[in-house]
Amino acid sequence: MTRESLPLVFAAGAVSAAIATVFAYRWKLNSSETECVEMVFLLSAMKLIINLPQWLVSLYNTNKDREFSTDDEMISMAVAIASQNVSEGSGGPFGCAIFERDIQTGKATIFSVGANRVVPLTNSTLHAEMIAIQFAQKKLKNFSMKGAKEGKEYVLCTSCEPCCMCLGGTMWSGVSELICSAAKDDAEKIGFIEGPVFPESYKQLEEMGMKVKREVKRKEGAAVLEKYGQTGVIYNG
């Protein structure tokens, strides 16, 4: 695997002296296409690396040209990511896939993926949805997916209803649709704390123009959580 570091340097504000903030991105070169597999943030002497497990990069590359046409097909990908994340021991029981959908034909292709990396990377913010959103926006070179590409819209599929953090991230992400598998209750049943998420929270998304579909193939998503709950680390902040 060939990787290159592509640094982008920005000057930040100063308190008593200027502090330089460097954003670097490591890329995996795959034939003629460049896929972002790591995000590296350098702040003074501090460094934060957000990386996808190699199996997830392979899964993305295998499926990136596949067409998806139904909710079941798309949500199954998110659940499959969650399941493999558990079996590989690379994070928590949550997976996310963002699809780029043609507005006219309704056909969708996988655009970005994320798997929970909280424990391996010791970072409470690295939920599957947050990672997938960051990679998608970086690929689009836009802070919002809404209107980023003419004739395209973006669908976020997650193996479980988002926690309060990820629901907020989803709201600002610019996706046109949110599809969830397992319910909040399924995650809380094994000990996770999902935070202040209420029916009104989803109503707010809908009022902003986002389509919301919940409990799509819930049984499959809940099964991943149940399996993880038997031996996995329940990480609440």
Q: What confidence score (pLDDT) does residue 226 get?
A: 97
Strands (E) located in 58-137: 95-102, 108-115
Percentages of the chain per state (helix, strand, coil), in multiples of 5: 35, 30, 35
Q: What confidence score (pLDDT) does residue 107 get?
A: 95
Q: What confidence score (pLDDT) does residue 50 get?
A: 85
Cβ proximity of 176 and 154 under 8 Å: yes
Q: What does residue 126 show for φ and ψ, rounded to 5 degrees?
A: -85, 60
Q: What confidence score (pLDDT) does residue 40 get?
A: 54
Nearest to 98 by CA among 115, 113, 80: 113
Type of residue at 82: A
- The DSSP H or E segment spanning 236 is none
Sorted by where each begins, the domain ranges of the chain are: 3-50, 53-231
Q: 53-231 — its CATH code?
A: 3.40.140.10
Q: What confidence score (pLDDT) does residue 9 get?
A: 26
C-alpha distances in Å from residue 124, one per residue of 150, 188, 196, 213: 35, 17, 17, 26
pTM of the model: 0.81
Tens of pLDDT along the chain (237 residues) come to 433 333 322 223 333 333 333 333 333 334 333 344 555 555 555 777 788 999 999 999 999 999 999 999 999 999 999 999 999 999 999 999 999 999 999 999 999 999 999 999 999 999 999 999 999 999 999 999 999 999 999 999 999 999 999 999 999 999 999 999 999 999 999 999 999 999 999 999 999 999 999 999 999 999 999 999 999 989 885
